[in-house]
Amino acid sequence: MSDNHALGFETICIHGGHTPENNRAHLTPIYASSTYTFDSAEQAIAVFKGQEEGYIYGRFGNPTINEAEERIAMLEAYGLKDKEGNQLKLKAILHSSGMAAVSTMLLSNLQAGDKIITHHSLYGGTQEMIDKILPGLGIESIIVDFHKHDEVVKKIKGDKQIKLMYLETPANPTLQCIDLEVLSGIGKEHGLIVCADNTFATPYLQQPFKYQVDFVMHSTTKFLNGHGTAVGGIVIGRDLEHMNTRVTKMHRLLGGNSNAFEAYLLTNGLRTFSIRMERHCSNAQKVAEYLNNHKGVAHVNFPGLESHPDHAIALKQMRNAGAVLSFELKGGFEAGVQFINKLKVCTSAVSLGTCDTLVSHPASTTHVGVPREKRLTFGITDGLIRMSVGIETIEDIINDLNQAIKLIS
């Protein structure tokens, strides 16, 4: 099944990467085994040398993990061609978390003296990794506004130490979108490694490998799993040789491997990925339009609205605008806190991409420790609410938001 890339997207969601199993189980079992056996010393030699496929040790991978990896690699490569015009083949490595995947990718591509070029509003953990951990290893970063293409070129030309371009689109919490085609084009023209965090968009909406991107990372915790049952991450690469050597080595040695149970939950969640996304997106568009006309709401950030500054970029590279949005309540900080308290259907929680609608007030939760002035520069205003729109009945989501806003205004 894994070689047949002519299959449709939904079929891949259900069958992609599945290998029939010895005991004829319909679904790939949860392989709860830390080590794997060999038929003979000769076979062990062949597996260790990489001449024969085979599992060795749980930290390196197992059949349950492998199925999730192949399925996600197939979804990211869906419909794309390699230089020879054949179906593009990608290699994916599943990790224990999105941050583990990002760490493996960064550390397998960078060394002391190298620099990263990136933009504001990356995922908080990635930002902290770049600001607080990498400098100690001699890896600095340069922040540019990725909307200013000339400035990006100038910065790259002026600094030969820049080795890697890090993109995230759409980005938190303003849902800013970056032009993947233009930026990855600039990156590759100057010999950089280009990588993109595709967590918010997922391969259903956007495929960075369509452009010249070298690596894609995901927090599989979000839409790919879709049910909020497991934390996980994945790094997917175009250069198979590099993935099978340096990146695999880094994954094994950093030890951020996934496990069979959480890989199983991910694979199971992926079966409904496409239809979930369809409903997530249509619900989100309706919620955004509703809030945009609500008198208790000052502003809505959603790339699916014409008022969003990056609406055109989103339309160009995404099938749909996604299911994450943020909006500003007129009443400020206190309104944000009260609003959360009044919700009855929507769930008050951070994270995103689960079947249920998740709502959070960053100023009083994720960013409560960030000084107000600094938080405002990130676009996190006092009354900002972030929402990951779920797949509940749309009227129930909208009625819940409406009653909560009415009670505070």
Ligand X SMILES: *Cc1c(COP(=O)(O)O)cnc(C)c1O
Nearer to ligand X, 16 or 233 (CB): 233
Enumerate residues 6+ apart whose C-beta is below 8 A from 269.
224, 225, 226, 227, 229
Mapped onto helix, strand or coil, the DSSP state of residue 299 is strand
Does residue 219 interact with ligand X by CB under 6 A?
Answer: yes
Sign of the alpha-carbon torsion through 31, 36, 39, 43 = positive
Does residue 123 interact with ligand X by CB under 6 A?
Answer: yes
Q: Which amino acid is at 403?
A: Q
Nearer to ligand X, 141 or 221 (CB): 221
Cα–Cα dist 232/257, whole Å: 9
Which of 65, 231, 385, 397 touches ligand X by CB under 6 A? Answer: 231
Nearer to ligand X, 69 or 400 (CB): 69
Cα–Cα dist 108/122, whole Å: 20
Give me the least distance between CB of 390 and ligand X, in Å please.
16
CA 373 to chain centre: 28
Nearer to ligand X, 98 or 187 (CB): 98
Does residue 107 interact with ligand X by CB under 6 A?
Answer: no
Give me the least distance between CB of 125 and ligand X, in Å please.
5
Which of 16, 63, 98, 228 touches ligand X by CB under 6 A? Answer: 98
Token pair of 374, please? 């600094």
- 287: part of which helix (H) or strand (E)? helix 273-292
Q: For ligand X, which stretch binds (CB under 6 A), given 61-69, 122-130, 269-277, 298-306?
A: 122-130
Does residue 226 interact with ligand X by CB under 6 A?
Answer: no
Nearer to ligand X, 69 or 168 (CB): 168
Dihedrals phi, psi of 157, to nearest 5 degrees: -65, -30
Does residue 221 interact with ligand X by CB under 6 A?
Answer: yes
Token pair of 395, please? 């009227």
- x/- mask, ligand X, residues 234-273, rule CB under 6 A, reads ----------------------------------------
Does residue 61 interact with ligand X by CB under 6 A?
Answer: no
Give me the least distance between CB of 171 and ligand X, in Å please.
8
Nearer to ligand X, 12 or 216 (CB): 216
Q: For ligand X, which stretch binds (CB under 6 A), given 18-26, 33-41, 53-61, 91-99?
A: 91-99
DSSP codes, 348-382: E-S---SSS-EEE-GGGTTTTTS-HHHHHHTT--T
DSSP codes, 223-262: TTT-SS----EEEEES-HHHIIIIIHHHHHHHT-B--HHH
Positions 181 through 200 that interact with ligand X (CB under 6 A)? 197, 199-200
Which of 173, 228, 233, 390 touches ligand X by CB under 6 A? Answer: 233
Give me the least distance between CB of 316 and ligand X, in Å please.
20
Dihedral, CA atoms, 282, 312, 180, 227, nearest 10 degrees? -10
Cβ-contact 174, 121 below 8 angstroms? yes
Task: With both helix axes pointing from N to C terminus, report the angle between 273-292 and 394-408 in degrees, rounded to the nearest 10.
Answer: 30
Q: Which amino acid is at 310?
A: D
Nearer to ligand X, 234 or 288 (CB): 234
Please count the residues of the chain.
409
Enumerate residues 6+ apart whose C-beta is below 8 A from 215.
105, 109, 193, 194, 195, 196, 235, 236, 237, 238
- x/- mask, ligand X, residues 163-182, rule CB under 6 A, reads -----x--------------
Does residue 97 interact with ligand X by CB under 6 A?
Answer: yes
Which of 125, 311, 342, 365 touches ligand X by CB under 6 A? Answer: 125
Which of 73, 94, 99, 345 touches ligand X by CB under 6 A? Answer: 99
Does residue 324 interact with ligand X by CB under 6 A?
Answer: no
Q: Which amino acid is at 185?
A: G
Give me the least distance between CB of 220 and ligand X, in Å please.
7
Measured at CB, which residue is nearest to ligand X?
98
Give me the least distance between CB of 289 and ligand X, in Å please.
24
Does residue 54 interact with ligand X by CB under 6 A?
Answer: no
Cα–Cα dist 302/351, whole Å: 17
Does residue 285 interact with ligand X by CB under 6 A?
Answer: no
Give me the least distance between CB of 349 and ligand X, in Å please.
13
Binding site for ligand X (CB under 6 A): 97-99, 123, 125-126, 168, 197, 199-200, 219, 221-222, 231, 233
